[in-house]
A and B are shown apart, each in its own frame.
Chain A
Amino acid sequence: MIASKPAAAPADELFACAAPQLFAAQQYRKDFPILSQEIHGHPLIYLDSAASAQKPRMVIEAMQRFMENDYANIHRGVHELSVRSTDKFEAVRETVRRFINAASTNEIIFTRVGTEAINLVASSWGRKFLKSGDEILITALEHHANIVPWQLLRAELGLKLRIIPITKEGDIRLEDVKAALSPRTKLVAVAHVSNALGTILPIKEIITLAHAQGALVLIDGCQGVVHMPVDVRDLDADFYVFTGHKLYGPTGIGVLYGKFDVLKQMPPYQGGGDMIASVTFEETTYKDPPHRFEAGTPPIVEVIGLGAAIDYVSNIGMSRIAQHETELLHYATEKLQRINSLKILGTAPKKAGVISFVMEGAHPHDIGTILDRQGIAIRAGHHCAQPLMDILGVPGTARASFALYTTKDDVNALVDALGKVQEIFG
């Protein structure tokens, strides 16, 4: 992989502030070509990274370079380009392994999206190991991607889906997890970070509790890996899922991490090329994980892009990104709270850079339109978490989400622009 170095902070900035922790969001911003444009005559302020993050030049160029120089199908040719492509593709497996500290590259499966990774577990592990009467535990704040696959499986196998409730702050209490767990619980599937509220769930504790009952745990980390360092071995997660496009990578690529001991007992998810050891019309034998689960030509270019994205954030440092976003979160929370007609939904003590809010007299979509006309992109709606919206008693929320390129100026612009909402709807 060609290293994707983020732009270095200018020397004078480093001298001016001796703190080695200085986070040059303003500089990193320049790595993202899309951010330098105007929208409706205003500089673009992109506060919708939780829906999908923008892509640094290093990712765009790595994919282009790969297609211009190295591209061919993988694992199937003796020719030079196929060898090169295969090497670069497989090198990203190692990049991902290191990024989440998995024990082996055999535990890293490439999928098309995070959603597909969850469906893979439901379809392969679920069908093999679950039976009528077994229980799957999820929380009330899950994304539809971590609800619907289990409902489909429930309908097929006669399972029970139990919901861990949330507090009015939007938090998960371990007492409630304990109360929901029983010997019938076979799987606990929970988000690492809520996309709708920003709550960081106590996943390490949840995993310990679940394991004590003999249940496996799947972590939907689509909003996790983007905001903080993740160590799947320290967590002892059985499955950890994430999606490339929220991690500054391309669309069309997701990752399923699974413990090898679990993966090797799982049947194939889809059948086709690349996943077989040998095929006759009488019998087919399958490859070992991870290839057993990667039928067909994978998203090769997208994998290369994901590798470049991980190199990019790793060079900056996930801990530093986490610290930067936490500072922004506190700054923005404090500023937004001063707006009388505004209410923040989701006030758990541990949150990532996501703020959901509602305003008196103004529907989230009207807020979204008025901000858009001022160049500010936020998300308005149910955030693919309709059950959560029902619990909160709102049809939807307005959501601002932060990324490594978000600055305090962006937050200030948001606060100013919300003045226009008050003016029209106040």
Chain B
Amino acid sequence: MMDGIAALDADLRDLYQDLILDHGKHPRNFRKPGDVSREALGHNPLCGDRLIVYLTLDADGTIVDAAFQGSGCAISTASASMMTEMLKGKTRAQADTLFKFMHMACTGAGEIKTAGLTQDEIDRLHALAGVRHYPMRVKCATLAWHTMQAALSALPKASTE
């Protein structure tokens, strides 16, 4: 049975990597900033995950602060936490590039463009994309990202339905 256990561990470890577990247990930027320029509510009605993404933009539209609050599973919390870290200092176009990478990597649909991303960002996004082998969990990983897009587009709500 050793093999079975090892295979199980490898399999689950692909999803629950240390990086994900760390961000899931100790989410960064889990707060409401004082000077929010944009915010949106993300909701996955299927599982009840619910989070609010807060963005602070400067005059050029560059994201100077990103934070979130809400409740969700380890995957959706980690994804939101890592996303807010990556968004700081990004322009709208750079945020879009991150979103597209994330979307492609999680769904396995289409060509992944890495242009403009650092190796660290690519590694982090790949860690989140461990969900692609867990079809029921893809929406957990992408919820924060859709919510961020809604906030940037000044839509009040995002839903993964």
Instruction: Name which residue of chain B comes closest to A362, CB basis.
Output: B74
User: Which residues of chain A are within 8 angstroms of B25 by Cβ–Cβ distance?
Assistant: 361, 425
CA of A380 to CA of B25, assembled, Å? 19
A contacts with B: majority SS: mixed
B contacts with A: majority SS: helix
> Shortest Cβ distance from B142 into chain A, in angstroms?
14
CA of A363 to CA of B27, assembled, Å? 14
CA of A420 to CA of B15, assembled, Å? 14
User: Which residues of chain B are within 8 angstroms of A386 by Cβ–Cβ distance?
Assistant: 48
B46 touches A373 (CB 8 A): no
> Shortest Cβ distance from B128 into chain A, in angstroms?
15
- A388-417 contacts to B (CB < 8 Å): 389, 395-396
- A331-373 contacts to B (CB < 8 Å): 361-366, 369-370, 373
> Does A202 have its Cβ within 8 Å of any Cβ on chain B?
no
B74 touches A425 (CB 8 A): yes
Candidates B11, B12, B73, B136; contact of A363 at CB < 8 Å: B73
Given the known inter-chain contacts A361-B25, A425-B74, please indicate yes or no for A369 contacting B15, CB distance below 8 A. yes
User: Which residues of chain B are within 8 angstroms of A42 by Cβ–Cβ distance?
Assistant: 4
- B1-39 contacts to A (CB < 8 Å): 4, 7-8, 11-12, 15-16, 21, 25
B73 touches A382 (CB 8 A): no
> Does B96 have its Cβ within 8 Å of any Cβ on chain A?
no
CA of A369 to CA of B130, assembled, Å? 13
> Does A41 have its Cβ within 8 Å of any Cβ on chain B?
yes
A373 touches B137 (CB 8 A): no
Instruction: Name which residue of chain A comes closest to B13, CB basis.
Output: A424
> Shortest Cβ distance from A391 into chain B, in angstroms?
14
B8 touches A366 (CB 8 A): no
User: Which residues of chain B are within 8 angstroms of A366 by Cβ–Cβ distance?
Assistant: 16, 73-75
A396 touches B12 (CB 8 A): no
Given the known inter-chain contacts A366-B75, A369-B137, A425-B21, please indicate yes or no for A381 contacting B8, CB distance below 8 A. no
CA of A380 to CA of B74, assembled, Å? 14
User: Which residues of chain B are within 8 angstroms of A251 by Cβ–Cβ distance?
Assistant: none
Given the known inter-chain contacts A41-B4, A369-B134, please indicate yes or no for A424 contacting B21, CB distance below 8 A. yes
> Shortest Cβ distance from B42 into chain A, in angstroms?
14
> Shortest Cβ distance from A344 into chain B, in angstroms?
20
CA of A420 to CA of B48, assembled, Å? 24
User: Which residues of chain B are within 8 angstroms of A389 by Cβ–Cβ distance?
Assistant: 48
CA of A425 to CA of B11, assembled, Å? 16
> Does A123 have its Cβ within 8 Å of any Cβ on chain B?
no
CA of A373 to CA of B46, assembled, Å? 20
A373 touches B8 (CB 8 A): yes
> Does B49 have its Cβ within 8 Å of any Cβ on chain A?
yes
User: Which residues of chain B are within 8 angstroms of A373 by Cβ–Cβ distance?
Assistant: 8, 11-12
CA of A396 to CA of B25, assembled, Å? 18
A365 touches B73 (CB 8 A): yes
User: Which residues of chain A are within 8 angstroms of B21 by Cβ–Cβ distance?
Assistant: 424-425
CA of A363 to CA of B134, assembled, Å? 16
Given the known inter-chain contacts A373-B8, A420-B8, A425-B21, please indicate yes or no for A381 contacting B48, CB distance below 8 A. yes
A395 touches B71 (CB 8 A): yes
CA of A400 to CA of B45, assembled, Å? 21
B12 touches A370 (CB 8 A): yes
CA of A366 to CA of B73, assembled, Å? 6
5 tightest A-B contacts by CB? A363-B73, A365-B73, A395-B48, A366-B74, A382-B48
Query: A residues engaging B (CB < 8 A)?
Result: 40-42, 361-366, 369-370, 373-374, 380-382, 386, 389, 395-396, 420, 424-425
**Can you name 30 A-B pairs with beta carbons within 8 Å?**
A41-B4, A41-B7, A362-B74, A363-B73, A363-B74, A364-B73, A365-B47, A365-B137, A365-B140, A366-B16, A366-B73, A369-B12, A369-B134, A370-B12, A373-B11, A373-B12, A381-B46, A381-B47, A381-B48, A382-B48, A395-B48, A395-B50, A395-B71, A395-B72, A420-B12, A424-B12, A424-B21, A425-B21, A425-B25, A425-B74
Query: B residues engaging A (CB < 8 A)?
Result: 4, 7-8, 11-12, 15-16, 21, 25, 46-50, 71-75, 134, 136-137, 140
If A365-B49, A369-B12, A395-B72 are given as contacts, then 20 extra A-B residue pairs at C-beta distance below 8 Å, sorted by A number, are A41-B7, A42-B4, A361-B25, A363-B72, A364-B73, A365-B47, A365-B137, A365-B140, A369-B137, A373-B8, A373-B12, A381-B48, A395-B48, A395-B49, A396-B47, A396-B48, A420-B8, A420-B12, A424-B16, A425-B21
